[in-house]
């Protein structure tokens, strides 16, 4: 964290000064909740995209963990962190986790800590209308079923994504696709899935998938229908793309053994998304909070 300032429990401090107990419950058991948020440079200065929606989702995760969470305080934390680091364009990481109070599994005696960090960012999958696309491989891992863990950004749940991603990269792919036991597509490790067939855009719907904010944005922009999709149907699509705060709109150029390339609908939606997040499109109104 050297050189970066963070917001911790209401105060901005040097990252190197932020300390956490080695017995932090969140470190041992993943008892925390986080968000991934983007701040974009716009003509009117830096602006955070759909922060209220991200923090509303984070609150649901905090509620599931029985953790107090103050959306107004964390909103202020995000803005203060961006200003303190003089960031115009950044990835913002709010994280709330349990710390001291013992290592038992009852969270009642624990103290919650609330952190916001921000850093310069480029899409982790390479994005934008000119990007070459993502090589996606069907995972042998199943997604955490929502009957075992709610599809929220709970820290421990991400071990599932990490195992799937590791398997994919070991096979020379960039990203993994979760498919359920009945053959329905769920999501990727950190992105939702869309397909295009005959010019129609479909957002993959699955009860175990995170309700993505980028997915909701893209659906609002193009009027995509949301429904369940099998892997067989996805393999037969004209275009497949992924959506996520970090990935933005990223074409899937390879799906297992199939070469899809980067299609025209994906390219167009990717351009539109870039215009929206940078405040250059009509639809951005109400989604950008100036830092």
Chain contacts with ligand PMP (rule: CB under 6 A): 36, 161, 187, 190-192, 210, 212-215, 243-245
Q: Which residues make Cβ contacts (< 8 Å) with residue 68, sequence separation at least 6?
A: 62, 112
The DSSP call for residue 230 is: B
Closest CB to ligand PMP among residues 67, 213: 213
Closest CB to ligand PMP among residues 82, 247: 247
In the chain the first and final C-alpha atoms are separated, in Å, by: 22
Least distance to ligand PMP, CB of residue 101, Å: 28
Least distance to ligand PMP, CB of residue 14, Å: 28
Q: Where are the beta strands (DSSP E) in the chain?
A: 5-8, 11-14, 32-34, 37-42, 45-49, 90-98, 112-119, 134-138, 175-179, 185-188, 192-197, 200-204, 225-227, 239-244, 248-255, 258-259, 288-290
Closest CB to ligand PMP among residues 243, 253: 243
Least distance to ligand PMP, CB of residue 157, Å: 8
- Alpha-carbon span 187 to 182, nearest angstrom: 14
Residue of 272, 130, 271, 245 whose CA lies nearest to 191:
245
Closest CB to ligand PMP among residues 114, 215: 215
Least distance to ligand PMP, CB of residue 250, Å: 11
Closest CB to ligand PMP among residues 193, 237: 193
Least distance to ligand PMP, CB of residue 245, Å: 3
Least distance to ligand PMP, CB of residue 185, Å: 12
Closest CB to ligand PMP among residues 110, 273: 273
Q: Which residues make Cβ contacts (< 8 Å) with residue 9, sequence separation at least 6?
A: 113, 114, 115
Residue whose structure tokens are 């921000």: 118
């Amino acid at each position: 964290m050297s050189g970066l300032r963070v917001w911790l429990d209401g105060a901005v401090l040097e990252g190197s000064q932020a300390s956490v107990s080695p017995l932090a419950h969140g470190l041992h058991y993943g008892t925390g909740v986080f968000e991934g948020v983007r701040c974009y440079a716009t003509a009117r200065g830096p602006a955070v995209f759909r922060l209220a929606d991200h923090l509303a989702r984070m609150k649901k995760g905090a509620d599931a963990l029985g953790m107090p969470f103050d959306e107004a305080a964390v909103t202020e934390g995000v803005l203060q962190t961006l200003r303190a680091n003089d960031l115009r364009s950044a990835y913002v990481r709010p994280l709330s986790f349990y710390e001291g109070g013992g290592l038992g599994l009852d969270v009642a005696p624990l103290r919650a800590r609330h952190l916001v960090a921000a850093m310069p960012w480029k899409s982790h999958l390479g994005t934008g209308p000119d990007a070459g696309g993502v090589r996606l491989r069907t995972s042998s891992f199943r997604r955490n079923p929502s009957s075992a863990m709610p599809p929220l950004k709970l820290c421990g749940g991400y071990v599932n994504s990490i195992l799937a991603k590791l398997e994919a990269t070991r096979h020379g792919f960039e990203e993994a696709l979760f498919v359920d036991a009945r053959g329905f597509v769920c999501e990727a490790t950190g992105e939702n899935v869309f397909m295009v067939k005959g010019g129609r855009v479909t957002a993959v719907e699955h009860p175990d998938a995170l309700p993505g904010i980028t997915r909701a944005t893209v659906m609002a922009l193009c009027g995509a229908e949301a429904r369940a999709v099998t892997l067989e149907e996805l393999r037969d699509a004209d275009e497949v793309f992924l959506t996520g705060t970090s990935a933005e709109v990223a074409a899937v150029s390879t799906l297992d053994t199939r070469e899809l390339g980067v299609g025209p609908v994906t390219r167009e939606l990717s351009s539109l998304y870039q215009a929206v997040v940078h405040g250059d499109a009509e639809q951005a109104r109400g989604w950008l909070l100036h830092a």
